[in-house]
């Protein structure tokens, strides 16, 4: 990867990704932070393309940008009476120090370790290989993941749905209001 195009692509994607992440950090508005997060996701998808992981890039766009971000936006819209700001807690300064330490340590590690990087050419036909490993050596994790999604779904529904009694109470209050309205006309 030493063409001008690669350099240009990497550095611009890197700036977009990290810049957008910093945008989340400084943003005072939750919706703005959300937009920054989506931008960061797209930047990471571009980096996957640069790493010849086309399949992962597509999944990244579909799941992160398409599903997760929309879900989070819905959650923001469904909590209208909650504060919309994106302010920090008292953990602000400890958090900043920890962030500095973690970045310093991991960057040091990334540069100092001999990762034995040897593969010059990317693996061809990555989507086919991934698909095959999902039904060969990784078939059991694949099935566990299916169970996990079922459990998460069942649990999320059990938590988020209003129970019968709540609905009864809600309907009762509605009919009471209706009675008051009709009471005036009769």
Using CB under 8 A as the binding rule, the residues of this chain from 12 to 31 that contact other proteins are 14, 17-18, 21-22, 24-25, 30
Our CB check for other proteins shows the closer of 71 and 176 to be 71
- Near other proteins by CB under 8 A: residue from 4, 87, 176, 179: 87
- Near other proteins by CB under 8 A: residue from 16, 35, 64, 65: 64
Our CB check for other proteins shows the closer of 18 and 174 to be 18
Q: How far is the CB of 175 from other proteins (least distance, A)?
A: 22
Q: 123: closest CA among 66, 44, 28, 55? A: 55
Our CB check for other proteins shows the closer of 151 and 174 to be 151
Which range in 158-166, 168-176, 177-185 contacts other proteins by CB under 8 A?
Answer: 158-166
5 binds other proteins (CB under 8 A): no
Which residues, 130 to 149, sit near other proteins by CB under 8 A?
130, 133-134, 136-141, 144-145, 147-149
From CA 41, how far away is CA 62, in angstroms rounded?
11
From CA 158, how far away is CA 153, in angstroms rounded?
8
From CA 170, how far away is CA 14, in angstroms rounded?
51
If you search the block for the tokens 């989340």, which residue do you land on?
24
From CA 48, how far away is CA 17, in angstroms rounded?
12
Q: Are 123 and 129 in contact (CB under 8 A)?
A: yes
């Amino acid at each position: 990867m030493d063409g001008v195009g690669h350099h240009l692509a990497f550095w611009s994607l890197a700036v977009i990704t990290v810049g957008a992440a910093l945008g989340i950090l400084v943003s005072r508005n939750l919706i703005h932070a959300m937009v920054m997060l989506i931008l960061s996701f797209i930047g990471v998808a571009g980096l996957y393309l640069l790493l010849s992981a086309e399949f992962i890039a597509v999944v990244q766009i579909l799941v992160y940008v398409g599903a997760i971000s929309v879900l989070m936006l819905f959650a923001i819209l469904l909590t209208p009476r909650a504060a919309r700001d994106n302010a920090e807690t008292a953990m602000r300064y400890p958090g900043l120090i920890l962030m500095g330490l973690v970045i310093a340590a991991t960057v040091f590690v990334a540069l100092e370790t001999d990762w034995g990087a040897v593969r010059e050419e990317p693996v061809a036909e990555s989507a086919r290989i991934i698909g095959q490993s999902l039904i060969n050596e990784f078939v059991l994790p694949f099935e566990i993941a299916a169970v996990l999604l079922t459990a998460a779904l069942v649990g999320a529904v059990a938590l988020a749905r209003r129970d019968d009694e709540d609905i009864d109470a809600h309907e009762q209050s509605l009919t009471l209001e209706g009675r008051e309205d009709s009471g005036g006309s009769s």
